[in-house]
Amino acid sequence: MPRPPGHGPDFEVRRQKIIDTAAELFARQGYAATSVNDLGRAVGLAKGALYYYIGSKENLLIEIQSRVMSPLLSRARQIAALEADPLLRLRLLSESLLTIIFHRLDHIWVYEHDYRSLSGDELATLLGQRSDFEHLITGLLTEAAGQSSLRVPEPRLATLQFLNLHNHTYQWVKPGGRWDPQYLAREYCATLFRGFGGTEADLGEAEERAAAFKRDRPELSLDPEVAWVPAPVAG
Amino acid sequence: MPRPPGHGPDFEVRRQKIIDTAAELFARQGYAATSVNDLGRAVGLAKGALYYYIGSKENLLIEIQSRVMSPLLSRARQIAALEADPLLRLRLLSESLLTIIFHRLDHIWVYEHDYRSLSGDELATLLGQRSDFEHLITGLLTEAAGQSSLRVPEPRLATLQFLNLHNHTYQWVKPGGRWDPQYLAREYCATLFRGFGGTEADLGEAEERAAAFKRDRPELSLDPEVAWVPAPVAG
Amino acid sequence: MPRPPGHGPDFEVRRQKIIDTAAELFARQGYAATSVNDLGRAVGLAKGALYYYIGSKENLLIEIQSRVMSPLLSRARQIAALEADPLLRLRLLSESLLTIIFHRLDHIWVYEHDYRSLSGDELATLLGQRSDFEHLITGLLTEAAGQSSLRVPEPRLATLQFLNLHNHTYQWVKPGGRWDPQYLAREYCATLFRGFGGTEADLGEAEERAAAFKRDRPELSLDPEVAWVPAPVAG
Amino acid sequence: MPRPPGHGPDFEVRRQKIIDTAAELFARQGYAATSVNDLGRAVGLAKGALYYYIGSKENLLIEIQSRVMSPLLSRARQIAALEADPLLRLRLLSESLLTIIFHRLDHIWVYEHDYRSLSGDELATLLGQRSDFEHLITGLLTEAAGQSSLRVPEPRLATLQFLNLHNHTYQWVKPGGRWDPQYLAREYCATLFRGFGGTEADLGEAEERAAAFKRDRPELSLDPEVAWVPAPVAG
DNA sequence: CATGAATGAGCGTTCATTCAT
DNA sequence: CATGAATGAACGCTCATTCAT
């Protein structure tokens, strides 16, 4: 879906705002139940003008998915590649994941609910990226089993518990509510690390180092405003 | 949508089979993306006849939600009311919940994905039932904090972790695969009980008692065949 | 585009009438310039009901093409296979072709103008059939060059002249006007046979035999009412 | 559709190039199936600028029709007015007509297929011009019947055969292929003249004189480059 | 009970055209 | 001169629902 070659300076700004609104609507009503007319009404544009920006309805879905997956995966790879204690890296990953969930809750709803509405190719790409993300976690859990007190006899099952605990959060979380991503990350990791047999000492150490890390390497904490905007993938 | 006053003895049987098929289709394609024609083709009935049984498309959604919520809630209430160790009851609840997820995976997909397509009243009813279910868990966790080694400083957050861990399972579970509900319940409860500070002793005891319970009181183990069918329709 | 399995007795009748009307409209305004709404208005049916009968707009085009090609080709094969003088067979073919043009003028307009709107597969099929038809004529002309006074040094060019002369008739012919298919066939064949160097004797003989043939084997004269209706091809 | 009163010297050049491109696209895809956007892309202009040159889409169609009809009719009048044997003039007309078909095949496709998309007034003008052209041929054929061996008992039918044979050529001709306009004109006229009862002598004479004519009065041979461009717009 | 037929609203998308800049 | 942006109508098509038979 190639867009016309020349566009005014406002084009991309406006386009991003339309995708924002689409994410809100899709999150609230579902992708299939939201019409392009609904979106037009919400952004104050006739349908014809909308298509000037969006290309197609499915394209919106692709962009939204990519706005989630793209920064998540790149940040996850950065963290996984750090030379640091695997528990620390899991803890950092937990907070990154929750940060994204908090700051783009509507995108996450769409990401979790409507990915099956993608067409074959796009779906395959997305599932591949999801699988990559999961394998990063599996790798860290396996590493942790070797270097700490954690017991991970079934890395796949441990990974799935990690993902269950984090990913389902979008269903009830209220940004600005009682808990923030940092707090939840600490709690979730505490549950999981203890739950997988980790000692209180290992747990405390990971938490301390995470605090230190965020102090010393702030660029590795996900700044969602920066992370989202360029969304360079797909389309 | 009043159904005709008198119908033959097969009416209800046939109706239930249609809802079964609807659940399969909705799970696979989504509620909004499944047409009444699709359903008609799948059950081998023309649209006119179909409407005789189903009343409306939304009605199907209501019935499916109720088929999940109704046995789950009644079984949860039964279990919560038992005179027994709260950890044991949580363990039994875990297995019941996972059993439903395993045996009616298609219903769960619909339950998790398409409840927002319900109209206001029906949605309110459903959300109320979900809240009731959650409070049963909160109650058991609070009890457990008093009677065992568990520390539950924030019962709401503990409840949400319990729900996250269980409810997200539908996204990846494959019935007939590596794990069964009993195995997953043991693993999940082990993670949670340890994660909330429970001792290995408490944990082992709960597991033993659960085994004994299922031996002595088999009627309290969820038989999914029985559990579903009569599902008294809410609404 | 499989139609639902069961249909009332009127379905096919109505369907054929709709295709008739579509052919009229397509002939008058062109396929691309005729909307499904136009057709609905013309047959007195809402768009939804129309689709119950037609499947798709392109399907109408396919059916119309097949209504022309199918009887034309089968009749042409019958005639070409006769054990008779090639000039006689060309003369019979000429009349068959003109009879179709006269009796389904609107179909011919669509056939000549809008075949390029067909999608790849259907277009390929049609072009193949057209090619088959042309080769029948080429064959007869070549035969005639051997057995009569005709000189056909370039069979392809002779074929194209035969086709030009006949096929372009749809542009100006008025059924019920001054000339009928028999008359035009005689005139066209006279022009072509003389034009290709045939003697008056050959020409007269072919005309006489054609008259005899139509008297003795009336079943080989194209009865357009019978020829059209079953239109068993494609869809 | 008044064009702005003053434009630069390039205006007309550019305009003609745009019409060239439009003719290509309309011929390939059909007038109704070609969008103004397609045209804009093909000529490298945004829609706004395009409309500065074209006025409207229908205007393009009018111009293309006129580019065919206008030189054809003026050349035909020139030829018909010559003091020369009618068979010679028919022969010259044949070659002129075929030359136009060869050199502007795309225009001819549009001319033959999409004239029905013209609005009432334009269509009336065009049909009048077509009729004028036909009457020139009828006149020549009638003259020929008086001065040569041709028998033309029905001048209208003879005219239509002349037109059928020539006009349908656009459907299959490939410029640069086996035959050129001169060759086809000779063949077509041979078929027609013989077919209408002309002697080989008359036929040979006409062909000889045509060769002489083209040698002595080359300005009467259609130079397509000159013939097209200035095409005074009808409408 | 069950069907085939019909409706009217809505779907995602494309169109010819306009116009401020 | 030329652009990018906007419109509103129409496109082909699908939908949930109804109802005479």
Q: What is the pLDDT at residue B150? A: 94
Chain D contact partners (≥3 CB pairs within 8 A): C
- pLDDT tens digits, D70-101: 999 999 999 999 999 999 999 999 999 999 99
Cα angle B66, B68, B70 (rounded to 5 degrees) comes to 55
Pair of tokens at residue D230: 């200035």
Contact D168 C172 (CB under 8 A): no
Mean of per-residue pLDDT scores for chain A: 90
Contacts of A167 in chain B (CB under 8 A): 164, 168, 171
A165-201 pLDDT, tens digit per residue, is 999 999 999 999 999 999 999 999 999 999 999 999 9
Residues above pLDDT 70, as percent of chain B: 90
Q: How far apart are CA D36 and CA D54, in angstroms?
A: 10
Identify which of A117, A166, A194 has the shortest CB distance to residue B195: A194
Q: What is the pLDDT of residues C68-102, one digit of tens each?
A: 999 999 999 999 999 999 999 999 999 999 999 99
A37/E19 CA-to-C1' distance in Å: 24
Helix (H, G, I), strand (E, B) or coil at C36: helix
Contacts of C179 in chain D (CB under 8 A): 157
Contact of D165 with C192, CB cutoff 8 Å: no
Mean pLDDT over residues D201-227, rounded? 78
Residue-wise pLDDT for B9-31, tens only, equals: 788 888 999 999 999 999 999 99
Nearest chain B residue to A184, by CA: B157
**What percent of chain C is predicted at pLDDT more than 70?**
90
Contacts of D30 in chain C (CB under 8 A): 30, 32, 116-117
CB–CB of B161 and A196 under 8 A? no
* pLDDT tens digit sequence for C23-64: 999 999 999 999 999 999 999 999 999 999 999 999 999 999
pLDDT at C2 over 60: no
Nucleotide F11: closest residue by CA–C1': C35
* H and E: helices and strands count for chain A: 11, 0
Least confident stretch, A43-47, C42-46, C78-82, D116-120: D116-120
Contact yes or no for C25/C38 (Cβ under 8 A): yes
pLDDT of D189 > 80? The answer is yes
pLDDT of amino acid B8: 74
Residues B178-193 have a mean pLDDT of 97
A109 close to B (CB below 8 A): no
- C8 C-beta less than 7 Å away from strand E: yes
Asked if A231 contacts A63 with a C-beta cutoff of 8 angstroms, the reply is yes
**Segment 47-66 of chain C within 8 Å of chain D by CB:** none
Classified as helix, coil or strand, D78 is: helix
- In this structure, CATH architecture of domain C67-224: Orthogonal Bundle (1.10)
Of all residues in chain C, what percent are helix, strand and coil, respectively (each to 5)? 75, 0, 25
- Whether B5 sits with its Cβ under 7 A from any strand E atom: the answer reads no
Q: Residue D195 and residue C191: Cβ atoms within 8 Å?
A: yes
B61-89 pLDDT, tens per residue?
999 999 999 999 999 999 999 999 999 99
- Using the predicted structure, report yes or no on whether residue D134 has a pLDDT greater than 90: yes
Cβ-based burial of C36 (10 A; exposed 0-12, middle 13-18, buried ≥19):
middle
Q: Which chain D residue shows the shortest CA-CA distance from C154?
A: D187
The better pLDDT of the pair C54, B234 is held by: C54
Query: By the CB < 8 Å criterion, does C123 face chain D?
Result: no
C-alpha–C-alpha distance, residues B113 and A109, integer Å: 10
Q: C28: Cβ under 7 Å from strand E?
A: no
Q: Which residues of A touch B58 (CB under 8 A)?
A: none
B31, B111, B160, B178, best to mutate vs chain A, most A CBs in 10 Å:
B160
* CATH label, D68-226, candidates 3.40.50.880, 3.40.50.1980, 1.10.357.10, 3.40.630.30: 1.10.357.10
Q: Does residue D202 sit at the C interface (CB-CB below 8 Å)?
A: no
Say if residues A187 and A142 touch (Cβ distance below 8 Å). no
Tell me the CATH number for domain B66-224: 1.10.357.10
> Which bases of strand F have any atom within 7 Å of the beta carbon of a protein residue?
1-20
The CATH number for A68-104+116-223, chosen from 1.20.5.510, 1.20.1250.20, 1.10.357.10, 3.60.20.10, is 1.10.357.10
Task: State how far the alpha carbon of B152 is from the alpha carbons of B145, B227, C120, D216, in Å.
Answer: 6, 32, 68, 112
Span B11-55: which CATH code?
A: 1.10.10.60
Residue in B with minimal Cα distance to A171: B164
Tokens for C181? Answer: 């298919």
- Quick: pLDDT tens for C138-179: 999 999 999 888 999 999 999 999 999 999 999 999 999 999
| C8 closest-nt by C1' vs CA | E4
**Are D164 and C160 a contacting pair at CB < 8 A?**
no
Neighboring chain A residues of B192 at a CB cutoff of 8 Å: 191, 195
- Contact partners of C by the rule of 3+ C-beta pairs under 8 A? D
The answer to whether the Cβ–Cβ distance between D169 and C165 falls below 8 Å is no
User: Hey, where are the domains in chain D?
Assistant: 10-55, 68-226
Q: CATH fold of C10-55, please?
A: Arc Repressor Mutant, subunit A (1.10.10)
In degrees and rounded to multiples of 5, residue A234 shows phi and psi of 50, 160
Nucleotides of E under 7 A from a protein CB: 1-20
C29, C168, C195 member nearest D168 (Cβ): C168
What's the rounded Cα separation, in Å, for the pair D72 and D66? 9
Chain-wide mean pLDDT for chain C?
89
Q: What is the pLDDT of residues B141-171, one digit of tens each?
A: 999 999 888 999 999 999 999 999 999 999 9
Here the tokens at position D135 are 């009457």
Where is average pLDDT lowest: A193-207, B191-205, D212-226?
D212-226
- Closest Cβ–Cβ partner in D114, D167, D192 for C168: D167
Residue numbers 72-131 of D with CB closer than 7 A to any atom of strand E: none
**Does the pLDDT of residue D222 top 80, yes or no?**
no
Query: Cβ contacts of residue C202 below 8 Å, gap of 6+?
Result: C87, C148, C149, C150, C193
- Residue of chain A whose alpha carbon sits nearest to that of B203: A195
Mean per-residue pLDDT, A22-50 = 94
Residue A46, pLDDT score: 92
Q: Do domains C10-55 and C67-224 have the same CATH topology?
A: no
Q: Compute the nearest-CA separation of C187 from chain D (Å).
A: 9
Chain B contact set for A164 (CB, 8 A): 164-169
Contact residues, chain B, for A197 at CB < 8 Å = 194
pLDDT digits (tens, 9 = 90+) for A85-109: 999 999 999 999 999 999 999 999 9
DSSP H/E element including B36 = helix B36-43
Residues 181-200 of D with CB under 8 A from C: 187-188, 190-197
